[in-house]
């Protein structure tokens, strides 16, 4: 956090001579250093004024109790709740654990600020395990002894290469369910040996370094009669290189490399293989139904061993299939076939019970299959015949979106799920809980409060907890019985009276019609400090228009946008191309990331200005990080008549330079002219406004070269801009220095004031 000298509070900021526009009447007075200090510290101050704020709860494996972290005036405590009795107590002795952790780690940990938010508690509550950074800790709560295990880099660093490795370690095996056999890899082939250590029996002979059998993909049939897995033909192993100029532990720079496949690269080719263990023979599997995979999900056997399934995501993300392979013959069938002229959003509604992507629930070992699809224009649930693949019925239906599935009861044939957009009189992004029967009848609303709801079901489906709030209503946590939806307990209710007394005010929700004149575009307005509706305030938009989700906050937070403390209005908007609305709303992004919903955003700004006299759009600023950084630059390049000043942090400014999964999902495959059309690099000559680029030197998400290539093209186009490179920083270039540079840039280029001479002031800029 920044530190200011005694004289700084009295020093006034000198106004710059090259103002981008005249200051609005609300900002006729010069900013003081105290304004900056408040902007940089107000978040921490406000966080210490809330009482009993619950985090998202998590259930213990027994289903009898759940845990949540409660925050009061910045101090944390984990609470354990017994669902059957309603008793609440500390989940463990926080003081003893902090002391034990301090002794073991040689770092100072406090009981009210333990550095984790989730953990696992042993069934007898005698041991707790949790992660701190890349270290896994396990502490005995009886002896107060803690042990640690540092995870390998691949377990916690960014991982973009999902190719199963070629393994030749004969000690690493895959055991059959009946315990008779161990499968292992040798010279890129598969072998069997019995548990008694008899000689190896080869299953394959034709494996090689360029076409190997991957041990990690093997899955045994439940009856141990068959073994299935994937044979892998590796693709192009593209490497991204990094140079850390200023490491903390040595004088000389460090260099490292990571695998980083990009859009258009040649991918590995996985193909399923099947073996009859009794006859020691391989059964041929025809690959005609999955010829060009972007990915194949892990193999999943039916419980009766009749066959296995996997999900085929075709390169380009326009075909997604549930494929079945018969164990006895290797015969391939397509149970469910999804197709789209744009893209299939295979990561939208995911199934947490297996490692495929789209939601799937097998009823009675695949007699029926519940499946998520956007085939009617909205994300909904469907019931298929799991033997024939025939659609039995659509379960949910309407101009609204299923957001998540909480629990499926195959006996009662009921589904509990979360959805948004059902209630026409409220924000269409609010998630509510519902119950419905497999046949689509009996839709029942379970959460009447006008709010955004987060539901967590117990593992056995007997209970659920509802954490709900709005941006203007503090959170409440309530326990329910699932069988009759009876309220069992008001677990927690946050108190924010001190926060309000200190001057905090919630954002203002606002919506206006989008480019089609019909669709409502929703956003929020963060009001400036000491807001006076009789004055006018400059507007800065905080943007993230990535198609993977919707991003305008809907739940309570004491967070304060720092720019509001300097007299700015800050807004957030979900324009077309973002997720969680109709498919047509989402499709705007396809092969068109430069759009970023700007036609809708600009109309929204103009509608807000027309309604509110204090909303000044004469010199609009914009900032964002990651995809938001790309969006911020696109605002200046493609909409210079409206957006004038931008700060872009860690953006993928050319989607051909970025990671494969994000960019082929939205920009398509093969790589076409659309990549250039959306490229900020190829369109750098269009720059008219004021631009600041921020990048972390060791960004392992979006490679720093993306920013440097944009800078290079801007220079070659004769464009003036500013750049901040943060040594050693990862994605988002986090830290107070980056925040300060953002504040200064908007103060200088929108307010027309010159920020303080920080060097002369002698502040110590530290995290």
Kindly list the distances between the CA atom of residue 192 and the CA atoms of 184, 327, 442, 522, in Å, as whole numbers in the listed order: 6, 19, 52, 59
Please tell me whether residues 30 and 104 are part of one structural domain.
no
**Whether the predicted pLDDT of 104 surpasses 80:** yes
Q: What is the pLDDT of residue 726?
A: 98
Q: What is the pLDDT of residue 18?
A: 34
**Whether the predicted pLDDT of 684 surpasses 70:** yes
Token pair recorded at residue 523: 């956003």
273 burial via Cβ count (<10 Å: 0-12, 13-18, 19+): buried
Q: What is the mean pLDDT of the chain?
A: 93
Is 523 in contact with 573 (CB distance < 8 Å)? yes
Is 186 in contact with 267 (CB distance < 8 Å)? no
Please tell me whether residues 653 and 564 are part of one structural domain.
yes
**Whether the predicted pLDDT of 294 surpasses 90:** yes
Q: What is the pLDDT of residue 155?
A: 52
Mean pLDDT of 119-130: 92
* 158 located within any domain: no
Please tell me whether residues 714 and 688 are part of one structural domain.
yes
pLDDT tens-digit map of 515-546: 999 999 999 999 999 999 999 999 999 999 99
Please tell me whether residues 35 and 98 are part of one structural domain.
no
Q: What is the pLDDT of residue 17?
A: 30
Q: Which SS3 state, helix, strand or coil, does residue 384 take?
A: strand
Q: Which SS3 state, helix, strand or coil, does residue 606 take?
A: helix
The candidate with the shortest Cα–Cα distance to 569, out of 620, 611, 630, is: 620
Please tell me whether residues 546 and 602 are part of one structural domain.
yes
Q: Which of 113-117, 121-125, 594-598 has the lowest mean pLDDT?
A: 121-125
* 757 located within any domain: yes
Looking at per-residue confidence, does 441 or 152 come out higher?
Answer: 441
Alpha-carbon span 231 to 175, nearest angstrom? 19
Q: What is the pLDDT of residue 197?
A: 73
Number of domains the chain is built from: 2
The candidate with the shortest Cα–Cα distance to 378, out of 400, 362, 360, is: 400
Is 552 in contact with 541 (CB distance < 8 Å)? no
Token pair recorded at residue 367: 């007699």
Alpha-carbon span 736 to 645, nearest angstrom? 21
Is 240 in contact with 261 (CB distance < 8 Å)? no
* CATH assignment at residue 27: 3.40.50.1820
Q: What is the pLDDT of residue 10?
A: 27
Q: What is the pLDDT of residue 29?
A: 72
Boundary (domain end) residue, out of 115, 150, 185: 150
pLDDT-based confidence at residue 158 (cuts at 50, 70, 90):
low
Number of Cβ within 10 Å of residue 198's Cβ equals 9
Q: Which of 73-77, 351-355, 370-374, 499-503 has the lowest mean pLDDT?
A: 351-355
**CA 548 to the chain's CA centroid:** 8
Please tell me whether residues 145 and 18 are part of one structural domain.
no
Beta bridge partners of 360: 371
* 289 located within any domain: no
pLDDT-based confidence at residue 13 (cuts at 50, 70, 90):
very low
For the chain, give the percent of residues with pLDDT over 90: 88
**CA 355 to the chain's CA centroid:** 17
* 64 located within any domain: yes
Q: What is the pLDDT of residue 125?
A: 86
Alpha-carbon span 360 to 374, nearest angstrom? 14
Boundary (domain end) residue, out of 150, 170, 188: 150
Domain interval for residue 675: 6-48+507-761
Alpha-carbon span 113 to 430, nearest angstrom? 31
Q: What is the pLDDT of residue 170?
A: 87
Please tell me whether residues 756 and 632 are part of one structural domain.
yes
Is 40 in contact with 65 (CB distance < 8 Å)? no
**Whether the predicted pLDDT of 761 surpasses 90:** no
Alpha-carbon span 233 to 617, nearest angstrom? 55
* 576 located within any domain: yes
Alpha-carbon span 609 to 569, nearest angstrom? 12
Q: What is the pLDDT of residue 5?
A: 31
* 256 located within any domain: no
pTM, entire model: 0.94
**Whether the predicted pLDDT of 446 surpasses 90:** yes
Please tell me whether residues 639 and 696 are part of one structural domain.
yes
Match 């019985």 to its residue by tokens.
481
pLDDT-based confidence at residue 23 (cuts at 50, 70, 90):
very low
Helix axes 33-47, 736-746, angle to 10 degrees: 130
Is 628 in contact with 543 (CB distance < 8 Å)? yes
Match 């109709």 to its residue by tokens.
582
pLDDT tens-digit map of 415-434: 999 999 999 989 999 999 99
Please tell me whether residues 716 and 581 are part of one structural domain.
yes
Is 384 in contact with 391 (CB distance < 8 Å)? yes
Compute the half-sphere exposure of residue 636: CA atoms within 13 Å on the CB side of its CA: 32
pLDDT tens-digit map of 135-148: 999 999 999 999 99
The candidate with the shortest Cα–Cα distance to 381, out of 393, 372, 390, is: 372
**Whether the predicted pLDDT of 21 surpasses 90:** no
The dihedral through the CA atoms of 68, 74, 77, 79 has a sign that is negative
Contacts of 388 (CB under 8 A, 6+ apart): none
Token pair recorded at residue 447: 């959460």
Number of Cβ within 10 Å of residue 690's Cβ equals 21
Please tell me whether residues 656 and 704 are part of one structural domain.
yes
Token pair recorded at residue 743: 């504040």
Q: What is the pLDDT of residue 746?
A: 98
Mean pLDDT of 468-477: 98
Alpha-carbon span 341 to 317, nearest angstrom? 10
Residue 670 preceded by cis peptide, ω within 30: yes
Alpha-carbon span 442 to 414, nearest angstrom? 9
* 304 located within any domain: no
Match 């419980």 to its residue by tokens.
303
Please tell me whether residues 631 and 647 are part of one structural domain.
yes
SS (H, E, C) 315-375: CCCCEEEEEEEECCCCCEEEEEEEECCCCCCCCCCECCCCCCCECEEEECCCCEEEEEECC
Q: What is the pLDDT of residue 160?
A: 87
Q: Which SS3 state, helix, strand or coil, does residue 31 take?
A: coil
Please tell me whether residues 550 and 633 are part of one structural domain.
yes
Q: What is the pLDDT of residue 124?
A: 87
The candidate with the shortest Cα–Cα distance to 693, out of 728, 659, 741, is: 741
H helix or E strand, kind and range, residue 740? helix 736-746
The candidate with the shortest Cα–Cα distance to 81, out of 484, 493, 479, is: 479
* 421 located within any domain: no
Boundary (domain end) residue, out of 119, 150, 181: 150
Helix axes 627-638, 598-611, angle to 10 degrees: 80
pLDDT tens-digit map of 24-71: 454 447 899 999 999 999 999 999 999 999 999 999 998 999 999 999
Q: Which of 132-136, 141-145, 197-201, 286-290 has the lowest mean pLDDT?
A: 197-201
């Amino acid at each position: 956090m920044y530190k200011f000298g005694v004289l700084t509070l009295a020093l006034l900021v000198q106004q710059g001579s090259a103002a981008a526009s005249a200051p609005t009447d609300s900002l006729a007075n010069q900013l003081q250093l105290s304004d900056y200090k408040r902007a940089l510290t107000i978040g921490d101050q406000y966080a210490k004024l809330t009482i009993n704020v619950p985090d998202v709860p998590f259930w213990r494996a027994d289903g009898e109790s759940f845990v949540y972290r409660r925050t009061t005036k910045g101090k944390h405590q984990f609470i354990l709740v017994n669902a059957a009795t309603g008793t609440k107590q500390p989940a463990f002795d926080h003081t003893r654990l902090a002391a034990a952790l301090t002794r073991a780690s040689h770092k100072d940990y406090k009981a009210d600020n333990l550095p984790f938010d989730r953990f696992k508690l042993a069934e007898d509550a005698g041991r707790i395990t949790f992660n701190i950074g890349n270290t896994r800790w396990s502490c005995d709560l009886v002896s107060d002894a803690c042990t640690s295990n540092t995870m390998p880099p691949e377990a916690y660093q960014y991982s973009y290469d999902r190719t199963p490795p070629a393994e030749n370690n004969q000690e690493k095996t895959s055991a059959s369910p009946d315990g008779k056999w161990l499968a292992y890899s040798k010279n890129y082939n598969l072998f069997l040996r019995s548990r008694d250590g008899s000689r190896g029996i080869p299953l394959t002979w034709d494996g090689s370094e360029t076409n190997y059998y991957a041990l990690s993909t093997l899955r045994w049939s439940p009856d141990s009669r068959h073994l299935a897995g994937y044979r892998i033909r590796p693709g192009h192993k593209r490497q991204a290189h990094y140079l850390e100029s200023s490491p903390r532990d040595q004088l000389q720079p460090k260099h490292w490399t990571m695998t980083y496949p990009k859009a258009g690269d040649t991918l590995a080719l996985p193909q399923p293989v099947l073996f009859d263990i009794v006859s020691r023979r391989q059964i041929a599997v025809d690959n005609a139904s999955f010829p060009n995979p972007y990915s194949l999900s892990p193999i999943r056997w039916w419980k009766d061993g009749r066959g296995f399934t996997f999900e085929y995501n075709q390169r380009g993300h326009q075909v997604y299939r549930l494929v079945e392979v018969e164990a006895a013959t290797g015969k391939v069938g397509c149970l469910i076939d999804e197709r789209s002229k744009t893209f299939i959003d295979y990561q939208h509604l995911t199934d947490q019970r297996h490692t495929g992507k789209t939601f799937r629930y097998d009823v009675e070992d695949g007699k029926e299959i519940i499946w998520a699809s956007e085939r009617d224009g909205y994300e909904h649930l469907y019931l298929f015949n799991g033997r024939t693949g025939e659609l039995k019925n659509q379960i949910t239906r309407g101009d609204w979106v299923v957001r998540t599935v909480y629990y499926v009861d195959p006996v009662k044939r009921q589904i509990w799920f979360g959805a948004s957009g059902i209630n026409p009189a409220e924000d269409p992004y609010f998630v509510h809980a519902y119950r419905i029967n497999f046949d689509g009848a009996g839709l029942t609303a379970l959460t009447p409060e006008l709010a955004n709801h987060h539901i967590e079901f117990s593992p056995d489906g007997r209970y659920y907890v509802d954490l709900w709030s709005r941006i203007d209503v503090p959170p409440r946590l309530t326990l329910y019985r699932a069988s009759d939806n009876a309220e069992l307990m008001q677990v927690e209710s946050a108190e924010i009276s001190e926060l309000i007394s200190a001057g905090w005010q919630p954002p203002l929700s606002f919506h206006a019609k989008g480019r089609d004149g019909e669709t409502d575009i929703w956003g929020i307005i963060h009001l400036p400090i000491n807001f006076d509706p009789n004055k006018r305030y400059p507007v800065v938009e905080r943007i993230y228009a990535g198609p993977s989700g919707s991003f305008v906050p809907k739940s309570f937070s004491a967070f304060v946008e720092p720019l509001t403390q300097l007299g700015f209005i800050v807004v957030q908007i979900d324009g077309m191309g973002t997720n969680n609305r109709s498919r047509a709303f989402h499709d705007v992004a396809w092969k068109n990331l430069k759009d970023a919903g700007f036609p809708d955003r600009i109309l929204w700004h103009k509608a807000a200005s027309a309604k509110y006299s204090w909303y000044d759009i004469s010199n609009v600023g914009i900032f964002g990080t990651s995809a938001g950084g790309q969006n911020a630059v696109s605002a200046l390049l493609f909409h210079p008549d409206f957006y004038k000043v931008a700060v872009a942090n860690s953006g993928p400014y050319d989607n051909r330079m970025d990671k494969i999964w994000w960019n082929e999902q939205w920009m398509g495959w093969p790589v076409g002219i659309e990549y250039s059309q959306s490229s900020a690099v190829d369109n750098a000559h269009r720059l008219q406004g004021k631009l600041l680029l921020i990048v972390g030197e060791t960004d392992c998400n979006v490679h720093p070269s993306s920013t440097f290539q944009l800078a290079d093209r801007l220079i070659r186009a004769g464009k003036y801009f500013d750049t901040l490179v943060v040594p050693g920083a990862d994605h988002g270039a986090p830290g107070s220095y980056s925040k300060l540079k953002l504040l200064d840039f908007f103060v200088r280029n929108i307010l027309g004031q010159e920020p303080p001479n920080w060097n002369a002031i002698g502040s110590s800029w530290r995290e």
